[in-house]
Amino acid sequence: MKQFAIITVIGKDKTGVIARVTNFLFEQKANIEALEEQVTRGQFSMTLQASWRKDSWKPEAIREGLDRLAAELAMEIRLKAIDPQRPQRGAIFVTKESHCLEGLATGFKSGDLKADPVVVLSNRRDLEPLARSYHLPFVCIESPDRAEAEKLALAELEMLEVDFVVLARYMRILSPNFVWRYKNKIINIHPSLLPSFPGAQAYRQAYERGVKIIGVTAHFVTMHLDEGPIIAQDSYKVTPNMTLKEIIAAGQRLETKVLVDAVRLYLSKRLDVYWGIVKQI
């Protein structure tokens, strides 16, 4: 059996970061399984998956070495050990719409979604009673300052050892600083067949344009709003004289189904993101 771990590196871009990190891991007898890096507006981020033979896995020494390297590079470097036998731990982010939270909570409770939902996190208290009714811990972070709110949210997720995040109609945009830490591990539901009608008023835009088919899209979150790799989509026909209210109600029912389907696919560990496209493996 191998021991797996994820290493994330975030900070100002500089020469030699990848070499420094991979050389250190080589000295620690690690095998690099996968590596993704990117630079955006001078900010460097890297996600690296490594493995060790059980007799070579020395977590304290590896953490201490990565901490020293982080100080030398003036970057944030984190190590997260992965236990393949442990169920995935998920966080659900919500604002005030309840339909997706209810669908997810039902799926987790029934065992359809095979993971442990460890927190419902929100910027409002509207859905606290619903979360509590499913015996889910609820955390409200109401700070209007996005950087402060994200800092508190990240601390909560780290403390709870969260593996993935589901945005169940969470109406705040996540910064690159947040997204980099959970690359291809944040799932969002959007009320349109992306790339059509991005943004917050998708149903209204579709209604005003008179489209005959409306859909929803579950996708991984990236730094580019509503442009992440698509996991699942579905649609329904708009019947004559259908009101905007009826369109929204039909869309919300479909949002719940598609988001649950996307989380189920993610948990099956049969998804791979290659050049921005999600493939089932």
The residue count for the chain: 281
pLDDT of 271: 63
- 134-140: Cβ within 8 A, 24+ apart: 134/105, 134/106, 134/108, 134/109, 136/92, 136/105
Q: Does the domain formed by 185-281 have CATH 3.40.50.170?
A: yes
Q: Under a CB-based contact definition with an 8 Å cutoff, are residues 120 and 139 in contact? A: yes
185-281 and 2-82 share a CATH fold:
no
Local confidence band at 38 (pLDDT 50, 70, 90 cut-offs): confident
Specify which residues 31 forms β-bridges with: 51
Write the burial class of residue 182 (CB in 10 Å: 0-12 exposed, 13-18 middle, 19+ buried).
buried
Give backbone dihedrals phi and psi of 192, rounded to 5 degrees, phi first.
-165, 170
Local confidence band at 276 (pLDDT 50, 70, 90 cut-offs): low
Name the residue among 268, 183, 263 with its Cα closest to residue 228. 183
Q: What is the pLDDT of residues 5-29, one digit of tens each?
A: 999 999 999 999 999 999 999 999 9
CA distances from 135 to 92, 130, 194, 242 (A): 13, 9, 34, 38
- 212-216: Cβ within 8 A, 24+ apart: 212/237, 212/238, 213/237, 213/238, 214/238, 214/247, 214/250, 214/251, 215/254, 216/189, 216/190, 216/191, 216/192, 216/251, 216/254, 216/255, 216/258
261 catalytic per annotation: no
> Over 80: is that where the pLDDT of 84 sits?
no
> Over 70: is that where the pLDDT of 246 sits?
yes
> Over 80: is that where the pLDDT of 249 sits?
yes
Domain residue ranges of the chain, discontinuous segments joined by + = 2-82, 86-182, 185-281
Q: Does the domain formed by 2-82 have CATH 3.30.70.260?
A: yes
- In 109-240 the beta strands, taken as DSSP E runs, fall at 116-122, 138-140, 164-167, 186-190, 213-220, 230-237
In the chain, what percentage of residues exceed pLDDT 90? 65
As a whole number, mean pLDDT of residues 45-66 equals: 92
Q: Which residues contact 155 (CB under 8 A, 6 or more apart)?
A: none
Q: What is the pLDDT of residues 118-176, one digit of tens each?
A: 999 999 999 999 999 999 999 999 888 989 999 999 999 999 999 999 999 999 889 88
> Mean pLDDT across the chain, nearest whole number?
90
Q: Exactly one of 116, 126, 226, 234 is catalytic; name it.
A: 226
Q: Under a CB-based contact definition with an 8 Å cutoff, are residues 148 and 73 in contact? A: no
- In 13-127 the beta strands, taken as DSSP E runs, fall at 31-40, 43-53, 76-82, 89-94, 116-122
> Over 80: is that where the pLDDT of 228 sits?
yes
Which one is the CATH code of 86-182: 3.40.50.300, 1.10.3720.10, 3.40.50.170, 3.90.550.10?
3.40.50.170
As a whole number, mean pLDDT of residues 246-265 equals: 94
pTM: 0.86
